Structure 1
């Protein structure tokens, strides 16, 4: 079977990629520790400069450091990764980096330092990098509050975005992700003595109960929409009518229309308890990655996988969000889950299957090359 000849073999070898993964994993980078994230960004810049022969931009936003390489005058294909993890400093002492019996382990190895290493080596393996951009952010695990604008600015006008988050079970790519909305419902009432004159109070806890039931009823399982009241709080003492209450709500939906439906309903909520008032904070956090935004790029990846002799690619829909939601929400065709094959994200058994690393990196190289050099329907 003939295969494309895009890859520079010296850049895409198991030993080279695993060494990059080791160095990334052994540089701990919990999202909330800005100093640790800065050290990790410096390492990413060092490793990428050596592989790519070019230094990146080092972009600091509100104390969080992101790294970006741009090749050429404009971005045709964006590789999107993050270098922060959920693991606190010191985790390496308990869960050290290791490779044993074909399995690579260590905090952040699966989510997503292997994917980051694959992105760097895949682009290093290209004969022509014109039109390719790599963006490595430092706050994805927190919901990307300081990188969203940077992601959207970088992706603007791109033909496609390739997200190096880890694959789903069995190596499946992620062609659909639910959008996410987060709300804080703040109820205001009036305090009074619960024994002497409760009738003079306006009970925020009672109103909170109405809000909770109303919000939960917005769930539409058939449409794939969940509206989940999560954290609730109210009251100050056991003998006082509560004057204030708060409810946090997590919304997940497959389509932008469903996120909009829930948003309108929550913002239009009318208090049931006389005298109570409500303030709605928050809103849409990440738009959905809808299947139509990934179909063309997935079809291309599947054709390339066949030419390379891979097993047929599979794809799934997942409930969790990634930075790919932002690019898809902009109208940029987006394919996610191109990173590591393994499992255990955010868990002690986090691991990567070593034998999958090189084939997936070669596929990524060919995919980047194909998108950057040809005109196809996936273009924005």
Structure 2
């Protein structure tokens, strides 16, 4: 009977097939804003899944409207009564045509290409981990795979699908890229807001006291909001885009500021909400309005998530490599699951760097290692009620 020790050799033997799969997947352009390409990309993924791991027991396709569709696939197992949800998004930030001057390329241990790190490499690793489990006879839990194509734009259509599906399981594994090899056990919550200032237009030279400058109001707001950054509490406020005015000699009648806010706790969410609610114009002839919302809730490092990481660390040690955890400022669909009280282990995807950058790359050796980790973790989740994971699953399901 196969054990964890058999995984590295089996996976190494499959390296060329894994690289070929990733090359084909990266060669499917799936920009978040092109539904035609997203639809064809998802069709490719589904056909590839059937070739590699067979037909799912159930399939549900949810129309995303103007956004990408979300696909939910169930792969039951005879080894466990529990269900694990795996989250993988298939969209990327790269526009159509990027492949023309940046194709998938292998240079030694480095694999580069648009979306390889974020996060197509993660799905390839999961699929080959499932294939390894089957061919080596390793146990695994029932697995529900959610594939969404709008993560890079905030998951506007897939969020309700994700939230409805994850609560049917015991824990959530997110195959987003790692952070320097570390798994992600905490993520910040994200708020996207816009401040709109309305002023009163007037000639800037002839009637300087008659008008009310919306740009002046926005400038004051920018300073006030940036002062709300508190790095010790994990809160950052960034005004990243400003628009306003019509002419240099006209008092600006309108101005807007687009804001990105990151927080590490619900307490900070409430504090920032209070700041936004309290914004007011200095000039009586001007007004301020706030639109937007919290795009993703905080993904806190709960005791359940800590125990889930401990199980992954145990598996890594058995396989002969160290494993670290970290907290990051970026958000993922794992934030939604964590906010519902589920244990979430994120960053199980590629080892590499350069998310959303032209130097995006992954380590092929890291891909093999993390495929072993995923298969080993699934085995541990199926057979380890006597260790810490039993408490994680039990607490999540109760």
* TM-score normalised by structure 2 residue count: 0.87
Which residue does 2:24 correspond to in 1? Answer: 23
Deviation, structure 1 residue 303: 0.7
Question: Aligned equivalents of 1:32 and 1:50: distance in 2?
Answer: 28
* Range with greater deviation from structure 2 (230-239 or 19-28): 230-239
Which residue does 2:332 correspond to in 1? Answer: 322
CA contact (8 A) 1:11 1:51 kept: no
How big is the alpha-carbon RMSD for the aligned residues of Structure 1 and Structure 2? 2.4
Which residue does 1:62 correspond to in 2? Answer: 65
Matches of residues 144-183 of structure 1 in structure 2 within 5 Å?
A: 144-169=155-180, 171-183=181-193
CA contact (8 A) 1:11 1:124 kept: no
Structure 1 residues 6 and 123 mapped into 2: Cα distance closer, same or farther (>3 Å)?
Answer: farther
CA contact (8 A) 2:242 2:258 kept: yes
Question: Aligned equivalents of 2:96 and 2:13: distance in 1?
Answer: 30
Deviation, structure 1 residue 282: 0.7
Which residue does 1:211 correspond to in 2? Answer: 221
Question: Aligned equivalents of 2:18 and 2:330: distance in 1?
Answer: 27
Question: Aligned equivalents of 1:229 and 1:120: distance in 2?
Answer: 40
Question: Aligned equivalents of 2:125 and 2:61: distance in 1?
Answer: 20
Question: Aligned equivalents of 1:105 and 1:223: distance in 2?
Answer: 36
1:348 corresponds to 2:361: no
Which residue does 2:86 correspond to in 1? Answer: 79
Question: Aligned equivalents of 2:86 and 2:301: distance in 1?
Answer: 19
CA contact (8 A) 1:6 1:125 kept: no
* Range with greater deviation from structure 2 (364-373 or 354-363): 364-373
Question: Aligned equivalents of 1:290 and 1:168: distance in 2?
Answer: 17
1:291 counterpart SS class: coil
**Of residues 313, 320, 330 in structure 1, which corresponds to 2:323?**
313
CA contact (8 A) 1:160 1:371 kept: no
Aligned pair count reads 377
Which residue does 1:106 correspond to in 2? Answer: 113
1:126 counterpart SS class: helix
Deviation, structure 1 residue 291: 2.1
Question: Aligned equivalents of 2:31 and 2:168: distance in 1?
Answer: 32
CA contact (8 A) 1:233 1:245 kept: yes
CA contact (8 A) 2:84 2:142 kept: yes
Deviation, structure 1 residue 28: 1.3
1:378 corresponds to 2:392: yes
Which residue does 1:362 correspond to in 2? Answer: 372
1:218 counterpart SS class: coil
Cα deviation 1:135-166 (Å, max 9, x = unaligned): 11111122222221221112124221111111
CA contact (8 A) 2:61 2:69 kept: yes
Structure 1 residues 7 and 60 mapped into 2: Cα distance closer, same or farther (>3 Å)?
Answer: farther
1:294 counterpart SS class: helix
1:299 counterpart SS class: helix
Question: Aligned equivalents of 1:213 and 1:10: distance in 2?
Answer: 54
List 4+ stretches of structure 1 deviating above 6 A: 5-8
Question: Aligned equivalents of 1:79 and 1:12: distance in 2?
Answer: 25
Deviation, structure 1 residue 224: 1.5
1:166 counterpart SS class: coil
Structure 2, gaps ≥5 residues long: none
* Range with greater deviation from structure 2 (276-285 or 66-75): 66-75
Cα deviation 1:6-50 (Å, max 9, x = unaligned): 969589832332222121011111111111111110011001112
1:265 corresponds to 2:236: no
Deviation, structure 1 residue 355: 1.6
Structure 1 residues 218 and 12 mapped into 2: Cα distance closer, same or farther (>3 Å)?
Answer: farther
Which residue does 1:88 correspond to in 2? Answer: 95
CA contact (8 A) 2:85 2:171 kept: yes
2:133 counterpart SS class: coil
Question: Aligned equivalents of 1:313 and 1:44: distance in 2?
Answer: 29
* TM-score normalised by structure 1 residue count: 0.91
Structure 1, gaps ≥5 residues long: none
Question: Aligned equivalents of 1:147 and 1:253: distance in 2?
Answer: 23
Which residue does 2:50 correspond to in 1? Answer: 49
Structure 1 residues 217 and 12 mapped into 2: Cα distance closer, same or farther (>3 Å)?
Answer: farther
